[in-house]
Amino acid sequence: MKKVDCQYIKSPLNYTGNKLRIFPQISKFFPKQIDCMIDLFCGGATVGINTNAKKIIFVDNNQFVINLLVYLSRINVDLFLRNCERLIKKYNLSCSYKYGYKIYRNQCKNKNDNNGLKDYNKKGFYILRKDYNSLKNKNTDEALTMLYLLMVYGFNNDLRFNSDGQFNLPVGKTDLNKNNVLKIKQYSEKIKKITAQFICADFRSENLIKLIKKADFIYMDPPYLLGDAVYNVGWNNDSEHSLLDLIDYLIKNKKSFALSNVISKKNKINEPLCYWSKKRSRYISIHHIKYNYRSASYNKIERDCEEKEILICNKNYIK
């Protein structure tokens, strides 16, 4: 499969499960003209930001994610980077986008391990995390810059908080590198050109139904019942059934939609979705997503058997 070319914008949030690599596969089933799209369960905003629509409403129930997306859409990039550099200096972190990788890697204890810059950044990262967690107001520019840095220096570049709202991931292997800076620049440029609204809400909220009434296309990428990402916590059979009720509402109200999901994984099946899609076969079409877009280090055939990713949309999208 061809590598996805760089005409697409990469999210600065490095979101686990983001749809960048399969964007061409899913977007060909989107309506050709969209006035108002809802990117429901937007995560890093990858789908909305790459879709051609007059207005895009990004919805996610993670307040930290929404705050970060809003912040990064209104920053002056040069000023933001200067603030990052000030904090990087304060916490003695590596800064490979400016000074390269080797200089820091050479200072790590074990130069033959596979831990990237973890050893170099360990001490400063945990002080930064402690300082961030002790902030009363987490929605200031300073707090959001700290959170951005926690993400790029943190484990797997994920965002994870405990029930008290404390960021709780350990240090990771990476830092503020050229790729991250490029993503910030591209996102900032693109988001300023489009009409975007960011809303922190649960998909079951009444507010969402009001938004749906105004929209003409709803893309949904919920946590997968068979998934295990950090944002899967709390997603269960009840959530899945509520989501299917919402899609029934979309079908009934003749709204265009597309749903990403995983229908089976190893020997497990997403039973509610399977049952529902059989019952709704008059209204929906199911498109199988080629799985081998993922990590090349996996045996592709094995991985294809392991997980079946799909896109479900209204029947009239079949070409």
Ligand X SMILES: C[S@@+](CC[C@H](N)C(=O)[O-])C[C@H]1O[C@@H](n2cnc3c(N)ncnc32)[C@H](O)[C@@H]1O
**Toward ligand X, which CB reaches closer, 41 or 80?**
41
Packed helices 141-153 and 118-133: angle between N→C axes, nearest 10 degrees: 150
**Toward ligand X, which CB reaches closer, 43 or 124?**
43
> According to CB under 6 A, which one of 30, 50, 53, 60 is a site residue for ligand X?
60
User: Taking CB under 6 A as the rule, does residue 231 contact ligand X?
Assistant: yes
**3-state SS string for 228-272:** CCHHHCCCCHHHHHHHHHHHHHHHHCCCEEEEEEEEEECCEECHH
The pair of structure tokens assigned to 203 is 């998909």
CA 188-68-51 angle, to 5 degrees, is 50
**Toward ligand X, which CB reaches closer, 42 or 284?**
42
> According to CB under 6 A, which one of 25, 46, 51, 94 is a site residue for ligand X?
46
d(CA 121, CA 109): 12
Q: DSSP states of 63-98 as a string?
A: HHHHHHHHHHHH--HHHHHHHHHHHHHHTT---HHH
**Toward ligand X, which CB reaches closer, 108 or 159?**
159
The stretch among 26-34, 67-75, 79-87, 221-229 that binds ligand X (CB under 6 A) is 221-229
Nearest to 183 by CA among 4, 5, 2, 6: 6
User: Taking CB under 6 A as the rule, does residue 61 contact ligand X?
Assistant: yes
Q: Which residue is nearest to ligand X (CB)?
A: 43
d(CA 199, CA 229): 22
User: Taking CB under 6 A as the rule, does residue 261 contact ligand X?
Assistant: no
User: Taking CB under 6 A as the rule, does residue 24 contact ligand X?
Assistant: no
CA 216-75-48 angle, to 5 degrees, is 20
Phi-psi region of 45 (alpha: psi -120 to 50; beta: other; left: phi over 0): left
Alpha helical stretches, state H, the chain: 23-27, 46-50, 63-74, 77-90, 96-99, 102-105, 118-133, 141-153, 178-193, 206-214, 237-252, 271-279, 300-306
The stretch among 60-68, 118-126, 132-140, 176-184 that binds ligand X (CB under 6 A) is 60-68
State in angstroms the smallest separation of the CB of 100 from ligand X: 29
State in angstroms the smallest separation of the CB of 254 from ligand X: 23
User: Taking CB under 6 A as the rule, does residue 12 contact ligand X?
Assistant: no
Residues 190-209 that bind ligand X (CB under 6 A): 202-203
User: Taking CB under 6 A as the rule, does residue 283 contact ligand X?
Assistant: no
**Toward ligand X, which CB reaches closer, 95 or 194?**
194
Size of the site for ligand X (CB under 6 A): 22
User: Taking CB under 6 A as the rule, does residue 186 contact ligand X?
Assistant: no
**Toward ligand X, which CB reaches closer, 62 or 115?**
62
Where on the chain is the footprint of ligand X (CB under 6 A)?
11, 15, 17-19, 41-44, 46-47, 60-62, 65, 202-203, 221-223, 231, 235
